[in-house]
Chain A
C-alpha cells in the first residue's frame, strides 16, 4: 500500500528554485497496476525516484506499507529498496559480462540469502518472467532486447518486492517486443497480484495498466480507471 500526501520536490540550483512536484497526493493499493503518465519535464521521473525510495520529498509524506519514507537516511532507504522494491529500467542495466542467472541473483547478495538457495530463487523468478531456460547461462550481452528486459524483470522480482517500478520499460524496444514485455507485467499483476507502477510518456503504453495517473507540470491532472485496457492475445 502506497500513500502520497501532498508531496513536493523543489530543486534549488544556484539560488534558482525549480519546482518538480508541486503537491501530489494519491493512494495505490496492493495488487494495483498503475501507469504514471506525463510528458518529459512533467515531474514523473522525480515522482518515480521518490516512489522508488531513491530520493526523499522536500515536503509531504510518503508512506510505503505504512512506513514513513520521507525522512529516512540513505542507509535506511537502501534497506527499504532491498526489501520492498523492484526496478525495471529503460536501459535494462544488466551487468554485461555476467550470466543471466548471476544478474538475477544480484539483489540476493545484498539481502543475506544463503548462496545455495539463490540459484533456485533466481530460476523461479526467471520462469515467472517468461525467459526460456536455454538462456540461463548466457551472458546478458548475448541476449536480444526483449530477453534482456525479461531478465531485468526477473531481477526486479527476485526479492519478492511489494512494489515493482518500471521506468519506460519499453523505451528501448520495438513495438512488438514492447507488447510482450507489457503483457508480462499484466500477467504478473493478474496471476501473482504484484503491485506495479509503470512510468511512461506514451499514452499507448499507459493504456496497458488498470489505472492511469496523468501528471503535468508537477501536478496530477487526471487520475482515472482505465476502461479501455489494452490486452493482446498473446499465446505462449
Chain B
C-alpha cells in the first residue's frame, strides 16, 4: 500500500461523511484557533508593556526613598512621604560613580494647576536639565529647563501635551503663556513631544519645573522624591546598581543593607517583573485554550471509535482481501491525523484572523508568533496520533471472521 493509496483511502473515507467530519474538525479548529489567538493576545500585551517600560528611558536605574520592611523596623514605604534622598545624594552619584551617563533628581507631587480660568490636576515634577536624556523626553517646541533656571530658582515650566490640551486647548502653542501652581505663576518655556504612551506615569500629562524652584516654592524642603540614573549600557547596570547602593548606604551611615532607607530599582527588574506577569497571563490564556483543544481531541477519538464500529465489516473485508493489521492501523491513524491536521491548518488561519480582529476592534496589541504556530501544528498532529491511536488499534485487532459477520 503506497502513501498515495493511503491518502486516497483516507480522503474518500473522510469525505464519505462530510457533516460528521466537519463537526469533528470544528472541535480542533476552535481548539487550535483559540490557542493561537490567546497566546497572541498574551504575547502582544507583553510586548506593549515592555515597550512602555522601555519608553521610560534606556538603561534606567531608579532610586526612591523609603525602604522594604527591615527586621522589625519600618521606616516608611510610601514614595514621596518618606524623605531620605537629597540633591547631595544625587550629586555624589554623579561624581563618584563612573559607569553612568547622567543623573536626574526629581521632586514630584500632584497639584491643582490653573491657567486663565481653566484648571487641571496633574503631576508637577521639579527636575534638572539632564532629565530629558535620562527619561527619553523630547522637546516639541521651546526649550527644556536649564542649569541656569535651576541655580536662579526661575519660575519657568515645561508642560506635556496633555496638560496643554487641558489648559489651553488642542493645537495652541503654549510657550510664553503663564500657569499658576500653588498660587505662584510659572511661565511656560517649552512643551514636550507627545509619546502617546500610557502606563505607569504618563509623561504627556506632566509639568516640569526647575528642581530648586519646586523645593523652595512648592514643597518647602530640600528633599527629592526620585533619583533617575542612566547607566552606560545594559551590561553595567547590575554593577552600577550595587555601586550606588553602597555609596548611598555609606552616605546615610547605614551598615546593614536590609535597613536601607531607600530602594533602588533597575529597568531590567521592572521589565522582568512585568514579563513574568504577562508570561503567567499568556500561560493562563493558553491553558484555558488548551482545554478546548483537548475536548476537540476527545471529539476526534469519539468519531474514530464510531467509525471503526460502523465500518467493522469493511475492516473484515479489507483483512480478507489481504490487508495486514498494520495496514488497517495506518489507515485509521491517518484518518485521525488528516482530520486534526486540516483542522489545525484552518484553526491557525482562524486564530490569526481572531487576533487580527481583536487588535483591530478592541485595540489590544496581539502578536502571532511562529513558535505558537509551530506548537499548534505539532499539538494538532500529536492529538491526531494520540487520540487516533486507540481506535486504530482497536480496528487493527478486530478478528476478521467476526468482523465479516458483524451486523
| B-binding residues in A (CB < 8 A) | 49, 52, 54-55, 74-75, 78-79, 81-83, 85, 87, 89, 91, 93, 95, 97-98, 102, 106-107, 109-112, 115, 155, 159
Contacts and interface: CB of A to CB of B under 8 A. Distances in A.
Contacts of B324: 74-75, 78-79
A106 B12 CA distance: 13
B4 A110 contact: no
Contact of B320 (A54, A98, A111, A115): A54
A89 B401 contact: no
Interface residues of B, number: 24
A155 B321 contact: yes
A52 to B, nearest CB: 7
B319 A97 contact: no
6 contacts: A82-B321, A87-B320, A109-B2, A109-B5, A112-B1, A115-B2
B313 A87 contact: no
A73 B326 CA distance: 14
Nearest to B319: A78
B322 interface: yes
Contact of A49 (B325, B327, B401): B401
A110 B323 contact: yes
B317 interface: yes
Nearest to A74: B325
A110 B327 CA distance: 8
A54 B1 CA distance: 20
Chain B interface, >50% SS class: helix
B321 A89 contact: no
Given A98-B12, A110-B327, A115-B4, A79 B401 contact: no
Contacts of A78: 319, 322-325
- Nearest 8 interchain pairs by C-beta: A82-B322, A107-B321, A93-B317, A110-B322, A109-B5, A78-B324, A97-B16, A81-B322
A81 B327 CA distance: 14
Contacts of A75: 324-326
Nearest to B320: A87
Nearest to A81: B322
Given A49-B401, A81-B321, A109-B5, 9 more contacts: A54-B319, A55-B401, A78-B324, A81-B320, A87-B317, A87-B321, A109-B9, A115-B2, A115-B5
Interface string B300-322: 00000000000001101111111
Given A91-B313, A98-B12, A110-B1, A79 B400 contact: no
A40 B5 CA distance: 39
Nearest to B400: A54
B294 interface: no
A93 B322 contact: no
Interface in B1-17: 1-2, 4-5, 9, 12, 16
Nearest to A106: B321
B404 interface: yes
A159 B322 CA distance: 10
B12 A111 contact: no
Nearest to A155: B321
A110 B321 CA distance: 8
Nearest to A95: B314
A97 B321 contact: no
Contacts of B314: 93, 95
Q: By CB atoms of chain B within 10 A, which of A82, A93, A102 has the most?
A: A93
Interface in B379-405: 400-401, 404
Contacts of A111: 322
A107 B2 CA distance: 13
B393 to A, nearest CB: 14
Contacts of B322: 78-79, 81-83, 107, 110-111, 159
Contacts of B327: 110
A102 B401 CA distance: 23
Contacts of A115: 2, 4-5
A55 B195 CA distance: 81
Interface string B218-237: 00000000000000000000
Contacts of B4: 115
Nearest to A156: B321
B89 to A, nearest CB: 84
A127 to B, nearest CB: 20
Contacts of A74: 324-325
A112 B317 CA distance: 18
Q: By CB atoms of chain B within 10 A, which of A97, A109, A110 has the most?
A: A109
Interface string B321-339: 1111111000000000000
B51 to A, nearest CB: 56
Contacts of A102: 12
A56 B319 CA distance: 15
A14 to B, nearest CB: 17
A53 to B, nearest CB: 9
A83 B400 CA distance: 17
A14 B322 CA distance: 31
Nearest to B316: A93
Nearest to A82: B322
Contacts of A93: 313-314, 316-317, 404
Contacts of B325: 74-75, 78
A107 to B, nearest CB: 4
A55 B400 CA distance: 9
Contacts of A109: 1-2, 5, 9
Contacts of B319: 54, 78, 81
A98 B317 CA distance: 14
A84 to B, nearest CB: 10
